Amino acid sequence: MITTWQIFKKTVLDMWDEMLNMIFFNLIWVFGTVLILFWPFVTFALFYTVKDIGDGFGIKFSKFFSYGRQSWKLAYVWGLINVVAYSLLLFNIRFYGGFGTQWALFLQILFFSLVVFWIIIQLMMLAMYPRLQEPGFKLAVRNSAVIVGRNPIHSFVLIIEVALLLLLFRFIPAIMLIIGFSFIALLVNNTLDVILKKELAVQDENQQNN
């Protein structure tokens, strides 16, 4: 079984191999996200691109924008749904935080847990989209939920890794600006790749036993 360290090591090596491109892609992602309107476009373009990197394919700078144009409809459906979902979840956290009672604290914790779960699902979804023959939000969220449910350890480790990286970026913002989200995208992609290979191996073993 491939360990967390091996996944992280592959991510570092992938980043190193395409460092110059990934720096440019990360800067574009940061700029597009700051402008908000382009956030879904640059996010999907980045995850489609890192899928190629994870598979060992050489990439060109133009590939990033090609993937963005190819997936822009999917990206903005995903982006709109996420804006609504996060707005509702964060509204409930703030709303129940104003009561100061034990039951309200319980509901706050519940909605905070839903935020964390939703983040995990969305990260998996972003890496899932390039792998779908007929990509769509419903199919991507269903597959990602199944993946997370069947692989809680990998999913939990991934969210811890992402949280630690974000904490590091907070103390050293320059890293986030230069390679931050590109590295996270590579890490998510490589984690999902390992999970899917494990799932396929289990399916093949079951078919052989039958």
- Helix, strand and coil in the chain, % to nearest 5: 85, 0, 15
Confidence band, pLDDT 50/70/90 cuts, at residue 201: confident
pLDDT above 90 covers what percent of the chain?
A: 77
Least confident span in 1-5, 128-132, 178-182, 188-192:
1-5
pLDDT above 70 covers what percent of the chain?
A: 96
Instruction: Determine the pLDDT at residue 196.
Output: 92
User: Tens of pLDDT along 19-45?
Assistant: 999 999 999 999 999 998 999 999 999
67 vs 208, higher pLDDT? 67
Query: Can you tell me the distance from the alpha carbon of 21 to that of 39, in angstroms, rounded to the nearest whole number?
Result: 19
Instruction: Determine the pLDDT at residue 175.
Output: 87
User: Tens of pLDDT along 92-147?
Assistant: 999 988 888 898 899 999 999 999 999 999 999 999 999 999 999 999 999 999 99
Mean pLDDT of the chain: 92
Is residue 1 pLDDT above 60, yes or no? no
Instruction: Determine the pLDDT at residue 210.
Output: 64
User: Are the C-beta atoms of 82 and 140 separated by less than 8 Å?
Assistant: no
Q: Is the pTM of this model over 0.75?
A: yes
Q: Which conformational region is residue 56 in: left (phi greater than 0), alpha (psi within -120 to 50 degrees), or beta?
A: left
Instruction: Determine the pLDDT at residue 2.
Output: 63
Is residue 73 pLDDT above 60, yes or no? yes
Residue 139: how many CB atoms within 10 A of its CB?
A: 15
Least confident span in 53-62, 75-84, 200-209:
200-209
User: Are the C-beta atoms of 161 and 8 separated by less than 8 Å?
Assistant: yes
